Amino acid sequence: MKIGELARRSGLSAHTIRYYERIGLLPPAGRGASGQRDYDASILVWIAFLERLKATGMPIRERLRYAALRERGGGTEDERSALLERHRDRVRAHICELQASLLVLDHKIAGYSAGKERTRQHDAEAEFRREPAGSRKAGTR
């Protein structure tokens, strides 16, 4: 498939695809008779995996390391696995931080909701206690 089709199917721009190829995240594309890049559809699975690593916060230098190990092939499985395990541990820690932050946000939002209810109750009670205009005696402040 040509780079435009790959861009459309992967969600990456053609510029990003060329950049990823230039820095080594993507293997060099084959070239057709016209000299244009010609990608195999299997590259979509690799791009999707790279995008997952990116979305979970893996630094580009680690993605490059993983890509280089993958390119070397057999015998690098232990290193690749260790790299992914370290990243998984960081992702899990980040998820725990996000869950703790979410609890704080939920608590804060609940406090605002409770405050609105207290305000509504106070306003209703004040309305009930309010004396009609002009019924107060002079000098009773």
Task: Kindly tell me if the per-residue pLDDT of 2 is higher than 80.
Answer: yes
Q: What is the mean pLDDT of residues 42-67?
A: 97
Domain map (residue ranges) of the chain: 1-58, 73-129
Instruction: Name the residue type at position 99.
Output: Q
Topology (CATH) of 1-58: Multidrug-efflux Transporter Regulator; Chain: A; Domain 2 (1.10.1660)
126-136 pLDDT, tens per residue? 666 656 566 65
69-127 pLDDT, tens per residue? 999 999 999 999 999 999 999 999 999 999 999 999 999 999 888 777 776 676 666 66
Report phi then psi at 31, rounded to 5: -120, 135
